[in-house]
Chain A
Amino acid sequence: MARYSNETGDGNIDPASIVSNVKNNIKQEIIKELLHGSFQDNKTKLGNDALTLVVEVAKCLVTETCLRASSQALKENCDKVDIEHVEKCLPQLMLDFP
């Protein structure tokens, strides 16, 4: 389970390697439905390459939030990432992400 915990040491995380190592993905159909739901104009269409990129942005958002919350939990010597850790990293995350 904790494959990388020894390599990364105390809070020294390499996010890029973890992001590319995460195999799970958000399904394209879900993001497509979500985006179509928010369009004001019915004529707006979504290109295939654009959809791929939005899915990647969403995946990065999830992974980044999770990793920031995890490093917050490590700082506080907790072994479970709780809602308070997520809340603490939310403001900076909202500034960093579009």
Chain B
Amino acid sequence: MAMFQNLSATQKLQAAVHKDVRGICTEASHFLGLEITKPAIEVIAELVFKKCRVYGSDLEAFAKHAKRSTINADDVKLLVRRNPSLKSRLLSLSSNCGKDKRRKSVPVVKQDVAKGASTSGECAANVQLASSLLESKESDVEDMVVDQIDLTFD
């Protein structure tokens, strides 16, 4: 039996894709109360593998045509332009993405604040001061900080 370490880079990627596709497929078919067989999963994994390669070369060509060297969200939207439902799904996802990006910066602040709170042993007033010093732009920072305090005090 071949060890994972001995496989070539492509085979490793294929194995990784296969693993993730198996998870999605079993979950999706269980929603309908069905079982999915192993060969069917293999076919779908192969399909995704080959499709992603085609997407890669397409996206590169789109970016090159726009005289960019970085592929951005617009290129992906151009890729899915023929499928309206998929396009609307991606549009809603990318509009949520902006919010997520802003949220991502919060946990860093949160951790720093939490560390300060736990070492000094001070209460909420100090923490709120620290959070306002660090970054007071986010309106939900204070809510999350309060959550963090509850967690640490538990």
Contacts and interface: CB of A to CB of B under 8 A. Distances in A.
Contacts of B135: none
Given A33-B13, A70-B36, A80-B35, 17 more contacts: A8-B32, A18-B31, A24-B24, A30-B13, A30-B16, A34-B52, A40-B60, A47-B72, A50-B73, A54-B59, A60-B86, A66-B44, A79-B34, A80-B34, A83-B39, A96-B83, A98-B81
A22 B27 CA distance: 6
Q: Is the interface of A mostly helix, strand, loop or mixed?
A: helix
A18 to B, nearest CB: 5
Interface string A25-48: 111001101111111110111110
A25 B34 contact: no
A67 B2 CA distance: 32
Contacts of A1: 30, 33
Contacts of A21: 31
Contact of B59 (A18, A35, A59, A73): A35
A97 B71 contact: no
Given A44-B69, A80-B36, A86-B40, A98 B79 contact: yes
